[in-house]
Amino acid sequence: MDHAAGITLRPARAGDGAALFEVTRRSVLGLAGSHYSAAQLAGWMGDRDAAFYEGVIAQGGAVVAEKAGSIVGFVDAEAGEVTRLFLLPETAGAGLGKRLLQIGIVTARAGHSGPIKVEATRNAESFYRHHGFATVRTGHFSHGVGGDPIEIVLMELPTKPA
């Protein structure tokens, strides 16, 4: 566990789904508004609910950041891809995103030798670029759980040098 700046990092566990849902919802509403329409923001969560995030947790690979006993951010990754990284808006810009991304990259590299992929939202594109990811192309993502498609940026972190 990492305890810098009053933040504890730990693997997500059963029962954290409602908190992950809320972090995602608040992150989208608080950080993506300058890049997406009100209709896109309103439909962003689609049919997601706490049970959806319990399923994410059950797959392993999700790590949460806690401050004063509350989850304030999380990252989820699988071989070759950082699949989710969300922070509460009030925690953005203080280095927590970088810490979570580093964990996500380590998880994504485990058993994977190619580039690490991320489907970045438009508002997060510069964050990922700052951390070494390059834009491959733009596209649209429907979230797979309802809601209007949103524009995303498909990005890759090059293969780690030998």
Tens of pLDDT, residue by residue over 62-110, are 999 999 999 999 999 999 999 999 999 999 888 999 999 999 999 999 9
**What's residue 97's pLDDT?**
95
Banded model confidence at residue 1, pLDDT cuts 50, 70, 90: very low
**What's residue 162's pLDDT?**
47
**What's residue 140's pLDDT?**
80
**Furthest-apart CA pair in the chain: how many Å?**
46
As a whole number of angstroms, the distance between CA 99 and CA 37 comes to 29
Using alpha carbons, select from 148, 95, 89, 85 the residue that is nearest to residue 120: 85
Tens of pLDDT, residue by residue over 29-57, are 999 988 988 888 888 888 889 999 999 99
As a whole number of angstroms, the distance between CA 53 and CA 20 comes to 6
Termini Cα distance of the chain: 28
Mean pLDDT across the chain = 89
Q: Compute the average pLDDT of residues 120-143.
A: 88
Q: Cβ distance 125 to 101 under 8 Å?
A: no
Tell me the whole-structure pTM to 2 decimals: 0.90
- % of the chain with per-residue pLDDT over 90: 69
Question: Residue 158: is its pLDDT beyond 70?
Answer: yes
